[in-house]
Amino acid sequence: MRPDDDLMLGMKIKQNGFRQKFATAMDLIEVEWYESLIEAFKGLEKNTFAGLHYRIGMVLFAIAGTFSSQVLPFFSIFSTDKIIFSLSFANIILLAGVYTIITKRMSKFSPLLFTVFPITALLFIYSIIRASILTFVRGGIVWRGTLYKLSELRNRR
């Protein structure tokens, strides 16, 4: 009853005082996550809302946090207010730095993809909204061809 089993396993490991390590094998193995953006949205249906503990408050917090930290600065940097400009500029520089470090360590993608970062953040927000709405409309999530009712998923966390 945990479609976000990988995330929850990691959390359980940490909660029990164990340490984790992360390793990449970029030159040894290649796995295509999804073939298209549509497939990615469909694949994220089952675990996006689960990762937010099936709570609307968490969904709203995730949307607001993602928008304010990863989209808004790219617009507010054009502000004539020096404080807003400075905060936006600092946020963008920090995001670019973290993105570059992670991209170089964990993928073969170019850090120049950061130029479309606000678009990817908006797509992520869309996936959160889509997954949450579909979960409510369906009354649960479809996982491995089976509908798991939202009430059961919430009770077995």
Q: What type of residue sits at position 133?
A: I
Count the neighbouring beta carbons within 10 Å of the beta carbon of residue 143.
16
Asked, for residue 129, whether it belongs to a domain, the answer is yes
Apex 73 CA angle, 59 and 123, nearest 5: 45
Q: What's the N-to-C CA distance of the chain in angstroms?
A: 8
Whether 24 is covered by a domain: the verdict is no
CA distance 45 to 33: 14
Query: Is position 33 within any domain?
Result: no
For residue 156, the Cα-to-chain-centroid distance in whole angstroms is 23
pTM of the model: 0.81
83 alpha-carbon distance from chain centroid: 29
Q: Has residue 41 been placed in a domain?
A: no
Q: What single letter denotes the amino acid at residue 22? A: F
Q: 98 lies in which domain range?
A: 47-155
HSE value, Cβ hemisphere, 13 Å, CA-based, for 119: 5
50 contacts 153 by C-beta, under 8 angstroms = yes
Number of domains in the chain: 1
pLDDT tens digits, 15-28: 999 988 877 777 78
Residue 61 covered by a domain: yes
Residue 31 within a domain: no
CA distance 38 to 101: 28
* Confidence class for position 122, pLDDT limits 50, 70, 90: very high
> pLDDT tier at 152 (50, 70, 90 boundaries)?
confident
